């Protein structure tokens, strides 16, 4: 308990491990701030994490993700487990971050100690969103939450990468969305371990369910490029032949009627068992880590650039004058890291 | 003309400079492929670029961007200028890339030699989307197009960064979109040099126009963080006091009736004159280059990781085993670039 009131980062770590709510909240803020002096504490958090089942939920705007997350979190609690939620919301410089409606819908859960909800503003992270969000997951994991839900809008490279850093990826679709939205949706369907069609109480939901089932049946058995960083060479079958391959299916849910929420939780638990029993978890953890280390390196690169702006001014002048091209300048920028291997320097 | 049939990249460069359509298309494909052997040619393209007025258009799904881009391109042609279009569309692994409807809507323009349209699939670029898209802009610029339009969905860090790499940023809003879409919109409003409210023939368009006007009038005079890479320190006023500050305004358009398209083109031209006359263009070019060099470095980092996978296996094992944290591994990864300053090596 003392950890929560103490500003010493290592004391905060102890508070997090003890499950202290204020310590958890403060430690996530430290992850967002990304100050070098908090690196040691966050590394310790990382070492203490690794037990939770991390579930990523994504879907296009209007797919009803947030409502589903709330229903799912309630079901997880009813199964006797604790749940942490990291919600990555579109940012507004005017409203200060998250979507107000979602926040309000979430409040019913917040009086429960077995639930911790954190909204991450995309704006504040300035490109370090993936790194900060995954460190927030570490904090909740180290704090002992059994299940961690990461919710993102399924648009944008960072947002999709964050969700792919989960052990189990749920893609939420909904009936009745426009053409442009549908096209965006198509880009994320392939990352699903489990499909959810929300709002299944609507009449037009059956068409959406059929579409996704059809896609799955048509042998568009998605390449398991989860965690894939660059190009086809990383493609690996998730489960070795004979070890029991995961069959991606569709769960129809209605947050209004509660339909399908129990089935979704069962399917999520089945996927966790599949990962562990088939040995696929090891591959997935490795893929996730590779992506995460690259994302973190990118974040360091961007932050470091600021501290080197004066030194790099001449280089940038050359690119502006077109006597040098951006690629050549980028190679030189990367080479500046050879004198910069101090863990505390970024 | 020979350049278009010759696969020698430097001959392609000459074809691009001569405005040869096939050479332009092939050179953009080389940019997408990002092979080291094409670096010299793309560097030469970059040196030959720099004359076009680059306009970024973004908006949430359903805002009518693509239709607006078509109407605007037609107006630019009618003003006697040529126009290149780079459209960054949500990708579908099943449809192979761009939104079909948009492609169909664009075909009327494609029989005109003074127009070049290129769709960039977000999927193929695997994180190098910003780099590849901006190199595509270089190609069109070097080919002599007077105006270049970059169209992106205004969701996702990469997509927003691409549009911010334009000289003039247009944010397209439309009436009648849902709450979640509106929240996403709020995140991009601040990057606008010019606001467009599309579909102004709709009854509910006036409310949207009033909302944006109200926001502008309320002194939420947006911080000009165009090209801002990281944090508040880069914030600079676009125009020095007295040099004529740019007043961000709202243009109401209807691609159906043609209303406002002429006014939008006039406003775009006025912004180009403002940038040049006030000296703000120099600052903007510098901001764009800084962002672009960082994005390129990130792309090199990701690609390079693949070639180093075997070497880095032990490091990744340590992170998976949690004996090392991702930040420490990322610092080590960055330090591997000290032996890697060859421009042709990535």
What are the structural domains, with CATH classification, of chain B? Answer: 1-48 (no CATH), 49-283 (3.40.50.300)
* B92-96 contacts, C-beta under 8 A, 24 or more apart: B92/A183, B92/A186, B92/A187, B92/B123, B93/A186, B93/A187, B93/A189, B93/A190, B93/A222, B93/B123, B94/A186, B94/A189, B94/A215, B94/A220, B95/A183, B95/A186, B96/B121
For range A40-48, the mean pLDDT? 97
**What residue of A is the nearest CA neighbor of B95?**
A186
Determine the pLDDT at residue A25: 93
Determine the pLDDT at residue B306: 86
Q: How far apart are CA B12 and CA A25, in angstroms?
A: 56
pLDDT at residue B102 greater than cutoff 70 = no
Q: How far apart are CA A249 and CA A145, in angstroms?
A: 27
Q: Do A294 and B330 touch (CB under 8 A)?
A: yes
Residues 6+ positions from A328 with CB-CB distance below 8 Å: B43, B343
More confident call, A52 vs A343: A52
For range B149-178, the mean pLDDT? 85
- Are residues A169 and A226 in contact, defined by beta-carbon separation less than 8 angstroms? yes
Size of interface A-B (CB pairs under 8 A): 286
- B61 vs A180, A189, A330: nearest CB: A180
Alpha helices in B99-223 (DSSP H): 100-106, 122-125, 129-142, 157-164, 179-189, 205-217
What value does the CA radius of gyration of chain B take, rounded to a whole number of Å? 21
Residues of A in contact with B172 (CB under 8 A): none
Taking Cα atoms as reference points, which of A272, A249, A252 lies closest to residue A261?
A252
**What residue of B is the nearest CA neighbor of A100?**
B183
Percentage above 70 pLDDT, chain A: 76
Quick one: tokens of B346? 């990535």
Q: Do B334 and A334 touch (CB under 8 A)?
A: yes
Q: How far apart are CA B115 and CA B103, in angstroms?
A: 14
Quote the minimal CA–CA distance from A175 to chain B in Å.
14
B-interface mutation test, from A157, A233, A283, A300, most B Cβ less than 10 A away: A157
CA B50-B53-B55 angle, to 5 degrees, is 125
- B322 vs A46, A186, A326: nearest CB: A46
Quick one: tokens of A17? 């491990």
Quote the minimal CA–CA distance from A190 to chain B in Å.
8
Phi-psi group of A193: left, alpha or beta (phi > 0 → left; psi -120 to 50 → alpha; rest → beta):
alpha
Strands B147-153 vs B83-89: parallel, antiparallel or unpaired: parallel
Q: Do B62 and A338 touch (CB under 8 A)?
A: no
Quote the minimal CA–CA distance from A21 to chain B in Å.
24
Residues of B in contact with A338 (CB under 8 A): 335, 337-338
- Residue A101 to residues A66, A89, B182, B247: CA-CA distances in angstroms? 9, 11, 12, 32
Q: What is the mean pLDDT of chain A?
A: 81
Q: Do B289 and A338 touch (CB under 8 A)?
A: no
pLDDT at residue B41 greater than cutoff 60 = yes
Q: Do B123 and A187 touch (CB under 8 A)?
A: yes
pLDDT interval class at A94 (50, 70, 90): very low
Residues of B in contact with A337 (CB under 8 A): 334-335, 337-338
Q: How far apart are CA B122 and CA B100, in angstroms?
A: 15
pLDDT at residue B99 greater than cutoff 50 = no
Q: How far apart are CA A327 and CA B250, in angstroms?
A: 37
DSSP, collapsed to helix, strand or coil, labels residue B237 as coil
- A230 vs B222, B303, B327: nearest CB: B303
pLDDT interval class at A330 (50, 70, 90): very high
A-interface mutation test, from B36, B48, B90, most A Cβ less than 10 A away: B90
Residues of A in contact with B47 (CB under 8 A): 322-323, 325
How many other C-beta atoms lie within 10 A of the C-beta of residue A113? 9
pLDDT interval class at B124 (50, 70, 90): very low
pLDDT at residue A265 greater than cutoff 80 = yes
pLDDT interval class at B28 (50, 70, 90): very high
pLDDT at residue B171 greater than cutoff 50 = yes
Percentage above 90 pLDDT, chain A: 52
DSSP, res B54: E
**What residue of B is the nearest CA neighbor of A51?**
B322
B-interface mutation test, from A40, A161, A162, A290, most B Cβ less than 10 A away: A290
More confident call, B172 vs A346: B172
Q: Partners of B119 in the beta sheet?
A: B87
Quote the minimal CA–CA distance from A75 to chain B in Å.
25
- Give the neighbor-by-neighbor strand order of the sheet with A194-197: A115-121, A83-89, A147-153, A53-59, A168-173, A194-197, A249-252
For range A81-103, the mean pLDDT? 59
Q: How far apart are CA A24 and CA A1, in angstroms?
A: 11
Q: Do B187 and A90 touch (CB under 8 A)?
A: yes
Q: How far apart are CA B65 and CA A21, in angstroms?
A: 44
Percentage above 90 pLDDT, chain B: 53
Q: How far apart are CA A75 and CA A196, in angstroms?
A: 16
Per-residue exposure over B97-127, b if at least 16 CB sit within 10 Å of its own CB, e if not:
bbbeebbeebeebeeeebbbbbbbbbbebbb
Quick one: tokens of B242? 């007295």
DSSP, collapsed to helix, strand or coil, labels residue A248 as coil
Q: What is the mean pLDDT of chain B?
A: 81
Residues of A in contact with B302 (CB under 8 A): 229-230, 294, 298
pLDDT at residue A224 greater than cutoff 90 = no
Determine the pLDDT at residue B94: 31
Determine the pLDDT at residue B276: 95
Residue B95's Cβ-count burial label (10 Å; 0-12, 13-18, 19+) is middle
pLDDT at residue B133 greater than cutoff 70 = yes
Residue where the block lists tokens 């010019």: B194
DSSP A55-112: EEEEE-TTS-HHHHHHHHHHHHHHTT--EEEEEEE---TTTTSS-HHHHHHHGGGGG-
**What residue of A is the nearest CA neighbor of B292?**
A326
Determine the pLDDT at residue B44: 97
Q: Partners of B153 in the beta sheet?
A: B59
- A341 vs B131, B220, B335: nearest CB: B335
Residues of A in contact with B126 (CB under 8 A): 229-231
Q: Do B90 and A178 touch (CB under 8 A)?
A: no
- B335 vs A126, A331, A337: nearest CB: A337
Taking Cα atoms as reference points, which of B241, B182, B224 lies closest to residue B63?
B182
Top-ranked range on mean pLDDT: pick from A297-301, B219-223, B273-277, B340-344 = B273-277
Residues 6+ positions from A143 with CB-CB distance below 8 Å: A16, A17, A19, A24, A84, A116
Quote the minimal CA–CA distance from B328 to chain A in Å.
6
Residue where the block lists tokens 């809008």: A153
**What residue of A is the nearest CA neighbor of B225?**
A126
CA A249-A253-A256 angle, to 5 degrees, is 175
Q: How far apart are CA A70 and CA A256, in angstroms?
A: 11
DSSP, collapsed to helix, strand or coil, labels residue B251 as strand
Q: Do A155 and B90 touch (CB under 8 A)?
A: yes
- Over residues B193-209, the pLDDT tens digits come to 999 999 999 988 998 89
């Amino acid at each position: 308990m003392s950890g929560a009131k103490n500003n010493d980062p290592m004391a905060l770590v102890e508070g997090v491990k003890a499950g202290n709510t204020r310590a958890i909240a403060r430690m996530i803020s430290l992850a967002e701030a990304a100050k070098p002096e908090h690196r040691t504490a966050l590394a310790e958090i990382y070492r203490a994490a690794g037990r939770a089942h991390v579930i990523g939920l994504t879907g296009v705007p209007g797919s009803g993700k947030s409502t589903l997350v709330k229903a799912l979190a309630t079901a997880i609690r009813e199964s006797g487990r604790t749940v942490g939620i990291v919600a990555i919301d579109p940012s507004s410089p005017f409203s200060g971050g998250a979507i107000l409606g979602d926040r309000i819908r979430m409040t019913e859960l917040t009086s429960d100690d077995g639930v911790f909800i954190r909204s991450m503003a995309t704006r504040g992270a300035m490109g370090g969103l993936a790194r900060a969000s995954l460190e927030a997951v570490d904090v909740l994991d180290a704090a002992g939450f059994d299940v961690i839900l990461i919710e993102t809008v399924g648009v944008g490279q960072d947002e999709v990468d964050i969700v792919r850093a989960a052990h189990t990826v749920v893609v939420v679709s909904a009936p009745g969305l426009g053409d442009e939205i549908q096209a965006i949706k198509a880009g994320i369907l392939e990352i699903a371990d489990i499909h959810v069609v929300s709002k299944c109480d609507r009449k037009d939901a059956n068409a959406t369910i059929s579409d996704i089932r059809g896609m799955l049946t048509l042998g568009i058995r998605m390449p398991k490029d989860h965690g894939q960083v660059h190009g086809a060479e990383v493609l690996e079958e998730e489960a070795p032949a004979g070890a029991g391959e995961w069959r991606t299916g569709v769960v129809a849910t209605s947050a209004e009627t509660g339909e399908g929420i129990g089935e979704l939780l069962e399917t999520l638990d089945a996927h966790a068992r599949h990962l562990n029993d088939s040995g696929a978890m090891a591959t997935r953890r490795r893929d996730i880590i590779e992506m995460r280390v690259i994302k973190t390196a990118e974040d360091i690169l961007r932050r470091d650039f600021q501290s080197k702006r004066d030194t790099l001014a001449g280089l940038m002048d050359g690119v502006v004058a077109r006597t040098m091209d951006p690629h050549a300048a980028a190679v030189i920028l990367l080479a500046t890291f050879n004198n910069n291997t101090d863990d505390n320097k970024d």
